[in-house]
Amino acid sequence: MADAPALPDAEAALAELAARMAPAVAHDAAFVGIYSGGAWVAERLAKVLPGDHPVGFIDVAFYRDDYKRSGLKANTRRTELPFDVEGATIVLVDDVLYTGRSVRAAINELFDFGRPDTIELAVLVDRGGRELPIEPTYTGTRLAVARDLSIVLSRDDSGRLAIGVEPAAAP
């Protein structure tokens, strides 16, 4: 890959994201990570940031807007929200923010559980290319890549996060 962009270090981006969130985020905000990369980031943030932050996980498969085109993909992950969404302060966490559609789906799903007080958005990587009017409240780092590539977060056995690129899956 001759034109491989220089990829940022995920751990550094995570530290940057946590630093931005520390002074601003509510003490009792719940962190809800979007599977699977967002879930890892949410877990790490909850460990590192002070305060009592319940951690939940959200699977957006049933709320995606590309169902008619792509059908339903088999998945076994369940949304788990171990706190009362009604009246909650939530930080939605995702690894890569791109078109904004996953975040839209996650917000819709959260509202089916109750009416939160506020929802903020924390993303590890913002790659631009928005198709909906959605902006992150907290960003770790920015990275632009070609349209035919996907940015993926991986986690090794020791829990260390890494940012990579791979060819985008066919629509």
Partner 1 sequence: MTARNPQLNAEGKLTHLLTLEGLPASVIAEILDTAHPFVSVGEREVKKVPLLRGKAIFNLFFESSTRTRTTFEIAAKRLSADVINLNIGASSTSKGETLLDTVDNLVAMNADMFVVRHAQSGAAHLIATHLAATGRPHVHVVNAGDGRHAHPSQGLLDLYTIRHYKKDFGALSVAIVGDVLHSRVARSLIHGLSTLGAPDIRVIGPATLLPTGVESLGVRRFHDMRAGLAGCDVVVMLRLQNERMRGALLPSTGEFFKHYGLTAEKLALAKPDAIVMHPGPMNRGVEIDSAVADGARSVILPQVTFGIAVRMAVMSMIAGN
CA distances from 39 to 19, 49, 68, 146 (A): 19, 15, 26, 25
Nearest distance from C-beta of residue 139 to partner 1, angstroms: 29
Binding residue (CB under 8 A) for partner 1 from 31, 63, 98, 138: 63
Q: Which stretch binds partner 1 (CB under 8 A): 12-20, 66-74, 92-100, 149-157?
A: 66-74
Alpha helices by DSSP H, 49-133: 67-70, 101-111
Tell me which DSSP letter residue 17 carries. Answer: H
Residues 92-111 that bind partner 1 (CB under 8 A): 108-109
Q: Is the CB of 28 or the CB of 67 nearer to partner 1?
A: 67
User: Residue 38, Cβ neighbours under 10 Å: how many?
Assistant: 28
Which residue do the tokens 């791109």 mark?
Answer: 98
Using the rule CB under 8 A, is 89 a contact of partner 1?
no
Q: Is the CB of 109 or the CB of 120 nearer to partner 1?
A: 109
Which residue do the tokens 């977060």 mark?
Answer: 153
Using the rule CB under 8 A, is 76 a contact of partner 1?
yes
d(CA 93, CA 56): 10
Q: Which stretch binds partner 1 (CB under 8 A): 4-12, 26-34, 75-83, 146-154?
A: 75-83
Using the rule CB under 8 A, is 115 a contact of partner 1?
no
C-beta separation of 2 from 62 below 8 A: no
Q: Which stretch binds partner 1 (CB under 8 A): 24-32, 54-62, 121-129, 147-155?
A: 54-62
Using the rule CB under 8 A, is 75 a contact of partner 1?
yes
Nearest distance from C-beta of residue 46 to partner 1, angstroms: 22
Three-class SS state of 145:
coil
C-beta separation of 171 from 70 below 8 A: yes
Contact residues: partner 1, CB under 8 A? 59, 61-63, 67-68, 70-72, 74-79, 108-109, 112-114
